[in-house]
Structure 1
């Protein structure tokens, strides 16, 4: 079996060279977007609108909503945070402020939803009466009609990550580096994330169980175990959120191989401009002439693409992000495969961030080969296998497009050999042992799957109950956050952002001069 692990190229020479220039890894930038449902103290979904004390969901820089009025999204700045401590403290401040404002509600600590007695009562996110606000709500109505509201209130954490120019210069061996070179480097990272990124749900997946109301009236071929009351679980699951029962484009799985930026954008454009037979059946309007979705195409917009990782570029313009990608190249990547960490008040912790740094750097350095569609399909099967049975003893993973196999333990140890070497380089920059400590901690998860987040939370849920566990965690997080002092932001910062966001929304609404139907026709999705 050891021979088969050699499908992962030997990085020893690359890492030795990188160690000579540790400064090339200074300046990694990160951002975090954390979703969480607002729930009542009995564990059911709140029926209140987005609190006015949190500002305008349309224009607030840090606090917004996702699919539903009850689905909060807390967002750190994405373009200039290169200090992990600052990032975590900033995200903590957002949670502290929200906790102070939610006196009668709590932030749900799980990725899989709370008790939902009637999915039809899930209120779509509202963004005011402006054209862009109405468009955002209509887009969500389309998601509801396509996938159902239950899937859309599954929550997660998104991790935005970019590497410094100096790293690309050294790793690609070019002084005069171009945006095309950097984009090519990020695409290598993305392809390898598809190949090996299942390590993230294995280590950090925290949704092995769900409330029985999630599947109410819906069919599944999965053999869930149950307590006969409220809990459904799979004994070796890591992340139901990432599995076929969770958050994905079930009917339209697109074959992105990420071999070139042009191919990625062409495939995305084709999906956005190609009608779907399934969505044509939904129609654009109901019998009362109310709009049901933005369009009947495979994807309404590029935001509807549900994949583990996406190439991104910062944009404040009206142009679609994919246009800017082609014009100016990839600026960062968005990791979308993190479950909410139920043991953290902010849904993620320092150790996870440091591991992500290590793993994403490793993905950028290893195996630059192109990816075939056959390999892509094999990689998807690996992801689903880990999501549904990742802790199963002696589980094997397909490598090299299914041509080779390797046990999870063997491949985990192989990857961690490289990660530990990278950790030493990053610790040289930081002047401590934090990255090496992370390696020492998480390699044990492969040796003992009971240490994983999914195993720990499943044991607690089966012992205490799904709802009891969730609300005990929610109350504990609420109590801690409410009593902590702000560290980066001030109360004045939040009040200023509250005022400015509301004024900004009113300004947008006042300046609208086009009928909504014409506005939709003018959009280039």
Structure 2
């Protein structure tokens, strides 16, 4: 990667133009996944609670792979404190409809009884709802259901509209502003891949997993105790090779390309249109029932796993690749955050501030294209940190050389200092404090959440399941201790009613055969 001095130079130019405010007004949103679990800590078998609304049509409360895997979404806003407050209110409303169930506090799942214990999410009888279910059924056939119930936090971010004309003028780029914004975001994504290993090191909170995760399967992970597998220096097994990955990627020859927005779209489209023999063996429609949407390398764009994605708001059920092609990149999605087991919301204010600063920093750095050698290094660095991040003397690959991970991390944090000062409007605010907290973790791995988790498990003689159960119940008590205001409760109740009515309308309007609906979805180019 080019010297980080380029980022500081660009930042100084914007400050000199009197446009620092444009950097401070980015939009932030969160998507937080949590498993619903039974009183004994096993995955819930009950349907998505009707009191929460329709998982198909609710804008803020939905499900991911499993009927038991809740996904809570916040609207974008320019104040991370308000974003977290919205997420907190959403949790409180959810708990009002859970009865004896509660939300699991960690990324790695609760007790599982094998593949069949994981109910696939249901979205009703409309064509959009049935298609969402079939896609998830296909994921189960392709990768197994167990890895699909690993939870995470997605951080959505965009710069303010006022920022882009300033940046484009300073860069001396003429032409389409949409094209400039999109390619700038693609450069940001390449840099986030280069720097991405820092996120699991600092915030990884999945160094251990319940033995039930591997029921019926072999694992190379050592035993922590009779009920837990772990790795001694792991930070984020979720981001390692036991987590959700496109395992057939090397065999199929498809690697999504981040050189430009058009190359990204083209490589995704290729994967969606290219048959894959092993998925053809599964079958698409067998005995009149869909097993998957198609037998191609990817069923749809979202099947491609990556730590970061370019995103555009979808209109009228369009495919993500088409939305990007038509309107460019609207925001980016960072997907590598584990659920923070030590915070009821799964993400802390300190994390929010640091991640925001890191993303802005990545946007300001030079971003050359990623060649095949660097791609291998990026992937290898992620795995090293996920499985061995706290290992003394750990090295990573940078510019084809092995470098000390902590030296590299210190260099990044040093370069981020000016960005945190700008966001604070000085040198002693909350962003600078968040930066220093991360510096402490780099200098002492015992300060990381992954180390803290394993330390507590040893001291308390807890299995992973016992640790996660304890934290989950603490978080439940936090949300139940203070209810929602009448105004906020009415807000969420109205959303729930409206979403159920929307689903009912979609089901009543369904007149196109499902086969034709799916064909039309993929025919739209």
The match for 2:411 is 414
Superposed counterparts of 1:25-40, under 5 Å: 25-40=23-38
Q: Aligned-pair distance for 1:165?
A: 3.2
Question: 1:272-327 CA deviation, whole Å, 9 max, x = no partner?
Answer: 000111111111133x3321111000000011111000000012223212112122
Of 496, 506, 512, the match for 1:498: 496
1:358–1:423 Cα contact (<8 Å) kept: yes
Q: Aligned-pair distance for 1:12?
A: 3.7
Asked if residue 52 in structure 1 is aligned to residue 16 in structure 2, the reply is no
What is the distance in 2 between the residues matched to 1:366 and 1:345?
34
Question: 1:342-362 CA deviation, whole Å, 9 max, x = no partner?
Answer: 011111110111011110011
What is the distance in 1 between the residues matched to 2:317 and 2:37?
34
Q: Aligned-pair distance for 1:100?
A: 2.1
Distance 1:311 1:119, change over 3 A: same
Q: Which segments of structure 1 move beyond 6 Å, counting only runs of 4 or more?
A: none
Asked if residue 234 in structure 1 is aligned to residue 231 in structure 2, the reply is yes
Q: With the length of structure 1 as denominator, give the TM-score of the two structures.
A: 0.94
Question: 1:343-401 CA deviation, whole Å, 9 max, x = no partner?
Answer: 1111111011101111001111112211112211210010011101011011111112x
2:38–2:101 Cα contact (<8 Å) kept: yes
The match for 1:99 is 95
The match for 1:62 is 60
The match for 1:162 is 158
1:90–1:487 Cα contact (<8 Å) kept: no
Question: 1:428-464 CA deviation, whole Å, 9 max, x = no partner?
Answer: 18x9700011111110101000101111112223432
What is the distance in 1 between the residues matched to 2:239 and 2:486?
33
Q: Aligned-pair distance for 1:9?
A: 4.8
1:183–1:330 Cα contact (<8 Å) kept: yes
What is the distance in 1 between the residues matched to 2:417 and 2:46?
48
What is the distance in 2 between the residues matched to 1:136 and 1:195?
33
The match for 1:391 is 390
Deviates more, 1:169-178 or 1:182-191: 169-178
Deviates more, 1:164-173 or 1:185-194: 164-173
Deviates more, 1:515-524 or 1:196-205: 515-524
2:32–2:72 Cα contact (<8 Å) kept: yes
The match for 1:256 is 256
Q: Aligned-pair distance for 1:469?
A: 1.1
The match for 2:362 is 363
Question: 1:463-492 CA deviation, whole Å, 9 max, x = no partner?
Answer: 322122111111110111112243796111
What is the distance in 1 between the residues matched to 2:486 and 2:268?
38
Does the residue aligned with 1:481 lie in a helix, a strand or coil?
helix
Superposed counterparts of 1:481-520, under 5 Å: 481-486=479-484, 490-520=488-518
Q: Aligned-pair distance for 1:215?
A: 1.2
CA RMSD of aligned residues (A): 1.9
What is the distance in 2 between the residues matched to 1:388 and 1:511?
49
What is the distance in 2 between the residues matched to 1:116 and 1:485?
31
What is the distance in 2 between the residues matched to 1:223 and 1:325?
40
The match for 2:431 is 435
User: Gapped runs of 5+ residues in structure 1?
Assistant: none
Superposed counterparts of 1:141-220, under 5 Å: 141-172=137-168, 173=170, 174=172, 178-220=177-219
In the comparison of the two structures, how many residue pairs are matched?
513
Asked if residue 89 in structure 1 is aligned to residue 85 in structure 2, the reply is yes
Q: Aligned-pair distance for 1:7?
A: 5.3
Q: Aligned-pair distance for 1:85?
A: 1.3
What is the distance in 2 between the residues matched to 1:487 and 1:23?
34
2:4–2:365 Cα contact (<8 Å) kept: yes
User: Gapped runs of 5+ residues in structure 2?
Assistant: none
Q: Aligned-pair distance for 1:11?
A: 3.7
Does the residue aligned with 2:264 lie in a helix, a strand or coil?
helix
2:205–2:339 Cα contact (<8 Å) kept: yes
The match for 1:282 is 282
2:2–2:366 Cα contact (<8 Å) kept: no
Deviates more, 1:462-471 or 1:122-131: 462-471
The match for 2:71 is 73
Deviates more, 1:199-208 or 1:276-285: 276-285
1:225–1:235 Cα contact (<8 Å) kept: no
2:315–2:323 Cα contact (<8 Å) kept: no
What is the distance in 2 between the residues matched to 1:211 and 1:67?
20
What is the distance in 1 between the residues matched to 2:146 and 2:113?
11
The match for 2:452 is 456
What is the distance in 2 between the residues matched to 1:32 and 1:11?
26
The match for 1:308 is 307
